[in-house]
Structure 1
């Protein structure tokens, strides 16, 4: 392919010289002009195709970790982060993805691709902050095993939250929405950089 590009570039140079010679000889023709334009167009197309191919090539680790990332933060988890208000009761199982991501440390949980790694690092940071605050703010709901709540029992029964509880709920909701936004961004970038593995994941999810 490099040899073809070299030949094309040399052809453009020869055609350009032909144009210059024809101009000075007062015998300008359209053939060399068309040859130059065609050669330049071909080179531009090859450059674009090569750039796109390079941009869509991910390290095998990135592909595997990207699919693992998508499996952890499935559609149910993303919907919870996008829509749930922590003024309402929630189940601890709904936060397993946040809990797991908050513990990600080391090269195993890093992307080689800088764009994906920046998104992942932000998801880990926000997940760690959200999970830590929930461990501080929330408590188990009486008589309901596996469910938790940020508002206290008396606040829920009165359907009125105090100023501190209201502030905490807003803080937690904001963190959850930020994570959801980062996950949406990850979907877009991973789909662009690894369309084949993204397509295979979608087919596997349907079959599963």
Structure 2
């Protein structure tokens, strides 16, 4: 009985492995290039757009660039999350489903952001609690929602199941996101060749897409 339990536990651990999920994500991207490449270039285009206006001074331009990046990132996120979900589930890619998901994703993203702001305003610990357990409620709402069960509860359950694998994913994601912020917001104008910055942005886009696939894969198995 104990040996059987140990075998099941080992199999579960393997299923929730970061490396296995990364292999799954890369395989999905390679196997579905016609659907993936437009999403890759959309993500890169958003970074390039920000770079083109990094030294904008007038308020209207700054607001426009910020709005394009915010809404563009939301749309790109919904499309690529669904891309990986459809690929992993061996389902045909349905744009109508993706478009329907955008308002839901925005709503739950707003709720999560509001909870984080309230956590900072009233006490620091609730912010970290919300950030750890509920950062991906918006993703859950469009990919893993269940009738009669809260998306917040589903997300927390999956995060708890993933344990250390999820923590490792968060650390890697925050590091990559930090590097991306530095490259797009501070590298221009420092003397670094703009061509090199664009190449770095291409690599960062690829890495971030793989991490998105890893996240969908892990949540799908948890």
Q: TM-score range by the shorter chain?
A: 0.3 to 0.5
TM-score (structure 1 length as normaliser): 0.35
Give the greater-gyration-radius structure (CA): 1
Say which structure, 1 or 2, has more relative contact order (CA 8 Å, 6+ apart): 2
**Structure with the higher helix share, 1 or 2:** 2
TM-score (structure 2 length as normaliser): 0.33
